[in-house]
């Protein structure tokens, strides 16, 4: 299927002169990229909520959102931002955190995990697991009713998938996992990597460079890096997998969804036709972002 018209417009508007790209940036360039957000106005409004506070979970920064003014226990969604394990953060994901709290009616915990290259693998995965474990250990602090879901986009989808199997292995029962165009295999050898290698918003060359900064000399088959390499996915939390058709990471998510289904894990995998990587975070540019958020929120509400 051809690119969605909004995806084509985005590429022409923002990527027609993409510059040198990520590959080869030094630390100063990486820090500048973190500070800059050329798409901030398209990430959605900073909706006023009854409850937003910055906290920490065993030293990991988090931001907690709640839409209502009550003090009763609610389910909790733990959200991991994207950005190739190197950029992004709580501030950039603020609009989405607020939107998720409104759409799901849950407490949303946005995680400010450590970033590469200053903090290479497995720092981000360790921080993700620390927060999930802390919610189970201190449910009253989070006003959690016992229902905990993990959710992430791109590299954050990687962290959510890793946290899901760590929870399973620790005997902690997650209600759900939501993986939005997740990065799940360091091999980068799927057909979607070949088909959409360049010019669709996220290039395979950039993914490879980001992985090198994060993973260093780590074993690419380590399931904390490549959840698709996990020996068994049986018993994992029910899942929702969202993919974009014109995305190098499309096949990672869809293969993972197929593995989950084969293992008897309840899962829905939904591909958004003509969409490109990153659309979920930009409701000001992509109508499909709103559709995808409605879908994810409905799936989470069903899970509770």
* Active site positions, annotated: 154, 247, 277
Handedness of CA 228, 161, 159, 196 (dihedral sign): positive
Structure-block tokens of residue 255:
């293969």
């Amino acid at each position: 299927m051809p690119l969605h018209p909004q995806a084509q417009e985005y590429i022409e508007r923002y990527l027609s002169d993409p510059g040198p790209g990520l590959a080869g940036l030094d630390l100063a360039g990486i820090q500048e990229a973190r500070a800059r957000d050329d798409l901030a106005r398209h990430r959605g409004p900073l909706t006023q909520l009854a409850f937003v506070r910055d906290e920490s979970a065993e030293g990991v920064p988090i931001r907690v959102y709640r839409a209502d003014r009550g003090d009763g226990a609610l389910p909790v969604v733990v959200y991991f931002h994207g950005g190739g394990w190197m950029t992004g953060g709580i501030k950039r994901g603020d609009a989405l955190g607020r939107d998720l709290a409104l759409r799901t009616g849950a407490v949303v915990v946005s995680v400010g995990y450590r970033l590469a290259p200053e903090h290479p693998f497995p720092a981000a995965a360790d921080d993700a697991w620390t927060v999930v474990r802390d919610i189970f250990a201190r449910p009253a602090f989070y006003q959690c009713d016992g229902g905990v879901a993990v959710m992430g986009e791109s590299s954050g989808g990687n962290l959510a998938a890793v946290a899901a199997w760590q929870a399973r292995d620790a005997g902690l029962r997650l209600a759900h996992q939501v993986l939005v165009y997740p990065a799940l295999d360091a091999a980068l050898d799927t057909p979607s990597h070949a088909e959409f290698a360049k010019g669709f918003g996220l290039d395979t060359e950039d993914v490879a460079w980001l992985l090198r900064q994060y993973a260093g000399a780590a074993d690419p088959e380590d399931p904390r890096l490549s959840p698709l390499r996990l020996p068994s996915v049986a018993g994992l939390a029910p899942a929702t997998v969202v993919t974009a058709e014109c995305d190098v990471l499309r096949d990672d998510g869809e293969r993972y969804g197929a593995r989950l289904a084969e293992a008897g894990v309840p899962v829905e995998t939904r591909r958004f036709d003509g969409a490109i990587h990153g659309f979920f975070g930009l409701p000001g540019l992509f109508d499909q972002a709103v559709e995808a958020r409605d879908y994810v929120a409905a799936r989470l509400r069903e899970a509770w």
